[in-house]
Amino acid sequence: MLLSVHLLDTLAPDLLDSLHAQLSAEVRLTTGLELPPSADYRLLVAAMPERAHLTASPNLRAVIIPFTGVSEKTREVLLGFPQLAVHNCSFPAVSTAEGAVTLLLAAAKFIAPVDRAFREHNWESRYQPSPAVLLAGKTALILGYGDIGQHVARICCALGMKVFAIRRNPRAPAPTDIPVSVYPPSALHELLPLANILIVALPLTPETHGMIGAGELARLRPPAILVNVGRGPIVDEAALYDALRSGKLHAAGLDVWYNYPTDQASRTKTPPSQFPFHELRNVVMTPHSISSTSENEQRFVNELAAMLNTAARGEPMPNRVDVHAGY
């Protein structure tokens, strides 16, 4: 049976060729922001589908969101279509996990301020007491133990750290080769005093919004480091800034924020927060880009092709999303 698919985007010619080359003969693919006339697609691939995209085809049965999680705006739209199966692509998981550990190492070793000073030929950091933290022997608590959290946990264990994780369903399948203890969200306050490192790899949902506030940050075991590769508002903005400025939080690596550019013109002049995080020496900052790699587009194409071929065979696709939960 033919599987009609619309990709609500345009791919570079070489990537589109690669996608077509990997698709089975049963997959009929259309692409572009303009929907095909008399739309009859059964599967829609779209980062931010709107109601019009979901109602255009009477045959629509499933939606693939081509990243991890679902934005709040998209979630609100999809809640009106409970008959649709929603799936994520997991290709950014490895690069996001590598980015989280990169931020952790950079924050723990104070690489950014040392690099800035040394570019001015300033050697003073070599002769002063170091604020760098040894990670071996420390304890990490990972919020979110999906694909990203599992990759982060594996690397942290390899660095000699003890690792705990919090997951909505702690009994969900997970790799058995990682020595990680997994707990439900109700254990958060019990685990925070045991952790020097808090790594946020959660989606933003009504349940996770503001999950980490001043009280939670104060419970971390010093010297405490926070890394956020989930979404900014999971961590209270003012509490985070105050904890870093006061030194209660030793350092942080932040890839996700509270304020984003709204158009192309604002990309070079938009502060990511109402607070001057950029003035703090103990913060490493990246513009929600830590998962980006030169291989990402091809990895997306490869995973998408595999998912579409699976659907064309009548088999269940991976990475099913609970729209009510948001991931």
How confident is the model at residue 275, as a pLDDT? 98
pLDDT tens digits along 74-116:
999 999 999 999 999 999 999 999 999 999 999 999 999 999 9
Q: Provide the percentage of residues in the chain whose pLDDT is more than 90.
A: 89
User: What's the CATH code, domain 3-90+295-312?
Assistant: 3.40.50.720
How confident is the model at residue 37, as a pLDDT? 82
pLDDT tens digits along 233-254:
999 999 999 999 999 999 999 9
Least Cα distance to 4 among 36, 25, 30 occurs for 30
User: Is 308 a residue whose pLDDT tops 90?
Assistant: yes
How confident is the model at residue 74, as a pLDDT? 92
Pairing between β-strand 139-143 and β-strand 85-88 as defined by DSSP bridges = unpaired
- In whole angstroms, what is the distance from residue 208 CA to residue 188 CA? 12
321: phi then psi, degrees, rounded to nearest 5: -105, 135
Residue in this structure with the two tokens 């870093």, named with its chain if needed:
244
Six-digit token pair at 191? Answer: 């685990």
Task: Write the DSSP symbol of residue 315.
Answer: P
Alpha helices in the chain (DSSP H): 13-22, 51-55, 72-78, 92-109, 111-119, 147-158, 188-191, 214-219, 237-246, 296-312
- In whole angstroms, what is the distance from residue 212 CA to residue 176 CA? 28
The rounded Cα 317 to chain-centroid distance in angstroms is 21
User: What's the whole-number mean pLDDT along residues 274-281?
Assistant: 98
How confident is the model at residue 226, as a pLDDT? 98
pLDDT tens digits along 171-212:
988 999 999 999 999 999 999 999 999 999 999 988 999 999
How confident is the model at residue 195, as a pLDDT? 98
Instruction: Indicate where the chain has its CATH 3.40.50.720 domain(s).
Output: 3-90+295-312, 93-285
- In whole angstroms, what is the distance from residue 230 CA to residue 10 CA? 27
- Across the chain, mean pLDDT equals 95
User: What's the whole-number mean pLDDT along residues 65-69?
Assistant: 88
| 254, β-bridge pairs | 228, 285
User: Is 326 a residue whose pLDDT tops 80?
Assistant: no
User: Is 69 a residue whose pLDDT tops 90?
Assistant: no
Q: How confident is the model at residue 68 (pLDDT cuts 50, 70, 90)?
A: confident
- In whole angstroms, what is the distance from residue 117 CA to residue 124 CA? 8
3-state secondary structure of 96: helix
How confident is the model at residue 67, as a pLDDT? 86
User: What's the whole-number mean pLDDT along residues 2-29?
Assistant: 95
pLDDT tens digits along 131-178:
999 999 999 999 999 999 999 999 999 999 999 999 999 998 899 999
Instruction: Identify whether the C-beta of residue 307 lies closer than 8 Å to the C-beta of residue 89.
Output: yes
User: What's the CATH code, domain 93-285?
Assistant: 3.40.50.720
Q: According to the 3-state scheme, what is the secondary structure of 160-221?
A: CCEEEEECCCCCCCCCCCCCEEEECHHHHHHHHHHCCEEEECCCCCCCCCCCECHHHHHHCC
Six-digit token pair at 183? Answer: 């707990």
